[in-house]
Amino acid sequence: MAWFPVLVLGVTVVLLIAAVVVPDVSQFVGKGWGVRLVAYPLLMLLVPALWWWARGRRGAVPVPYVAFGLVMLPFLSDTTANWLDLFRKVGWWDDVSHFGHWFLLCAGLGLVLAPHPRPRSVLVPLVAGIGALLALGWELGEWALFIRRGTEAEGAYEDTLGDLTLGTAGALVAGVVVWWRARSSRRSEAHSVEQSVEQSTGWAPDVP
């Protein structure tokens, strides 16, 4: 699955470069494409880089390519939506994208973190908390780039509150999904161990 994050990153970079070099298009004006061209690839590569630094150097560890791809998908989605001008043409797109982007981002982060927390239930508040902090950081970045000296100040307070709520909600749902997946995987592994021991010894262990 190594192709998955590579493809997402590659398509995003191509769209970002095209948005910078293309002649003035109404949906591109005031969107900070030069900043995005630098920031998006760096942010997309941050989690793989941190994972390699923390885990990859220790030897043969399975690479979580799917998790990396999920972390990167929101940046591709945001770039594509701006290309298609969905934020202006579709009234509900901004709300859906904040929930969906944070769900994908935090699902990817949760899959990277899932093997480590004990008890497993810690995953839910951990992922939700990380998502809430990232949502706050994103809104601060939007304020600095587009609102502080731009034309989007009107209604910015209400929009920011909604975006923070939707982003945190998406992160919370992602935390629950990752926790449920980790819990189901643990039960499946325990059942496999039980069957294996029973077949080899005729005795079924009491695996919790």
All residues at 6 or more sequence positions from 9 whose CB lies less than 8 Å from its CB, including other chains: 41, 44, 45, 72
Residue 194: is it exposed, middle or buried by C-beta count within 10 angstroms (0-12/13-18/19+)? middle
The answer to whether 182 touches 123, Cβ cutoff 8 Å, is yes
| 115 residue type, one letter | P
* pLDDT over threshold 90, residue 104: yes
Give the tens place of pLDDT for each residue, 5-52. 999 999 999 999 998 888 677 777 777 888 899 999 999 999 999 998
Q: Out of 28-32, 58-62, 88-92, 112-116, which region has the weakest mean confidence (pLDDT)? A: 58-62
Grade residue 197 by pLDDT with cuts at 50, 70 and 90: very low
DSSP 8-state class, residue 154: T
pTM of the full predicted structure?
A: 0.79
pLDDT of residue 171: 92
What is the spatial distance between Cα 162 and Cα 179, in angstroms, rounded to a whole number?
26
What is the spatial distance between Cα 191 and Cα 205, in angstroms, rounded to a whole number?
10
Angle at 53 between CA 52 and CA 57, to 5 degrees: 70
Residue 119, preceding bond cis, omega within 30 degrees?
Answer: yes
